[in-house]
C-alpha cells in the first residue's frame, strides 16, 4: 500500500494520461471510477492492476484485492484523475479485456455496432446486450473507443462480463453467416417490420451510426434488414433504444 498526497506526483500524471485513447493503446490499460465499477472489475481475475482510494473512504471487506497495488490518495489526487464532476472515492487501473476472443457457435447471439459515435450509446448498448444474454459484441470501425471513460461508465460494469471484440464488421458478418447464424441489419428503407421475423436461438444484430444508420455495404450482406415501426411523428428512435427493443424481441 502506497500513499500519494500531491497531484504533482509522477504517478498521478501517468494515470491522467489514460484519459487519452492514444495513451491507453500504448499502456493497454484504462481507468475506471466508482465503487460499483471497481467491484465488478475485481470479479474478473487479474484485471485490476491498481486501486486508487480516497483517504476518506474504506475498503469494502469483500473485495478480493490480492493482485492489485493499492494507493491511498488525497481527494485532490482523486479529483485530478477523475473524468466526472463528482469523483466517487475510488478509481482503478484495469488491463484491456483479455476475453475478447468469442467462442462463436451455431447458437450464439451477437450484437454488431457500425460507427456508433456517442460513447453513452455504445456503453448503454453493451449494458443492454449483456443483460439480454448476448454472448459476443463486435465494435466496428468508427465506433466510440471501448475504453473511453463515458463508454465504461455507461456499461455499468457489463464491459467486464461479455466478450467485446474490436474488428472489421465485414469479416464478422461472413463468420456468422458461414456458421448458420441469421444476420439482421437495421434500416429505415427497404427493410421489413421486425415483428415479421420470428425470435430465434441465435442471431446477429447489426445497428449503425446515429445519423446515417448502418453502412450500405453491410446492409447488402445481411440476411434481412429490419425496422421498428414509428407510430408517431418522430423520424427515428435512439439507436440504443432500438437495439434494446430488437435484442429482447429476437431472443424471446
Q: Which is nearer to a second copy, 67 or 195 (CB)?
A: 195
Q: Which is nearer to a second copy, 58 or 252 (CB)?
A: 252
By CB under 8 A, which span of 17-25, 81-89, 212-220, 241-249 interacts with a second copy?
Answer: 241-249
Torsion of CA 49, 54, 57, 62, to 10 degrees: 0
Kindly state whether residue 157 participates in binding a second copy, applying the rule CB under 8 A.
yes
- Cβ-count burial 46-67 (b if 16+ within 10 Å, e if not): ebbebbbbbeeeeeeeebeeee
| 199 dihedral zone (left: phi>0; alpha: psi -120 to 50; beta) | beta
Q: Which is nearer to a second copy, 85 or 178 (CB)?
A: 85
For 198, phi then psi, to 5°, come to: -90, 145
Q: Which is nearer to a second copy, 77 or 129 (CB)?
A: 129
* List of residues 6+ apart from 252 with CB closer than 8 A: 199
State which of residues 7, 27, 179, 241 lies at the interface with a second copy (CB under 8 A): 241
State which of residues 34, 87, 208, 244 lies at the interface with a second copy (CB under 8 A): 244
Question: Total number of residues binding a second copy (CB under 8 A)?
Answer: 34
Q: Which is nearer to a second copy, 168 or 201 (CB)?
A: 201
Kindly state whether residue 68 participates in binding a second copy, applying the rule CB under 8 A.
no
Rounded CA separation 151/36 (Å) = 15
Residue 23 CA to chain centroid, in angstroms? 19
State which of residues 130, 138, 227, 250 lies at the interface with a second copy (CB under 8 A): 130
The DSSP output letter for 209 is: B
Site for a second copy in 193-232 (CB under 8 A): 195, 228, 230-232
Kindly state whether residue 89 participates in binding a second copy, applying the rule CB under 8 A.
no
* List of residues 6+ apart from 123 with CB closer than 8 A: 150, 151, 152, 153, 154, 155, 156, 159
- The residues binding a second copy (CB under 8 A) are 120, 124, 127-128, 130-134, 156-158, 161-162, 195, 228, 230-238, 240-242, 244-245, 248-249, 251-252
Amino acid at each position: 500500500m502506497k500513499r500519494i498526497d500531491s497531484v504533482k506526483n509522477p504517478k498521478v500524471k501517468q494515470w491522467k494520461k489514460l484519459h487519452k485513447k492514444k495513451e491507453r493503446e500504448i499502456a493497454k490499460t484504462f481507468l475506471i471510477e466508482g465503487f460499483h465499477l471497481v467491484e465488478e472489475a475485481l470479479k474478473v481475475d487479474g484485471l485490476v492492476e491498481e486501486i486508487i482510494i480516497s483517504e476518506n473512504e474504506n475498503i469494502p471487506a469483500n473485495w478480493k484485492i490480492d493482485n492489485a497495488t493499492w494507493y491511498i490518495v488525497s481527494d485532490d489526487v482523486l479529483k485530478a484523475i477523475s473524468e466526472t464532476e463528482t469523483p466517487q472515492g475510488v478509481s482503478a487501473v484495469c488491463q484491456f479485456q483479455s476475453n475478447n476472443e468469442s467462442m462463436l457457435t451455431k447458437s450464439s447471439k451477437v450484437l454488431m455496432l457500425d460507427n456508433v459515435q456517442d460513447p453513452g450509446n455504445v456503453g448503454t448498448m453493451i449494458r443492454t446486450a449483456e443483460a439480454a444474454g448476448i454472448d459476443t459484441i463486435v465494435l466496428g470501425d468508427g465506433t466510440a473507443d471501448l475504453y473511453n471513460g463515458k463508454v465504461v461508465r455507461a456499461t455499468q460494469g457489463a464491459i467486464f462480463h461479455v466478450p467485446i471484440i474490436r474488428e472489421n464488421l465485414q469479416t464478422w458478418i461472413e463468420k456468422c453467416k458461414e456458421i448458420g447464424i441469421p444476420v439482421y441489419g437495421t434500416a429505415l428503407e427497404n427493410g421489413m417490420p421486425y415483428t415479421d421475423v420470428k425470435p430465434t436461438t441465435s442471431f446477429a444484430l447489426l445497428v449503425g451510426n446515429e445519423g446515417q444508420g448502418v453502412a450500405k455495404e453491410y446492409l447488402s450482406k445481411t440476411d434481412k434488414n429490419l425496422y421498428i415501426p414509428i407510430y408517431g411523428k418522430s423520424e427515428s428512435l435512439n439507436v440504443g433504444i432500438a437495439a434494446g427493443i430488437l435484442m429482447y424481441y429476437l431472443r424471446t
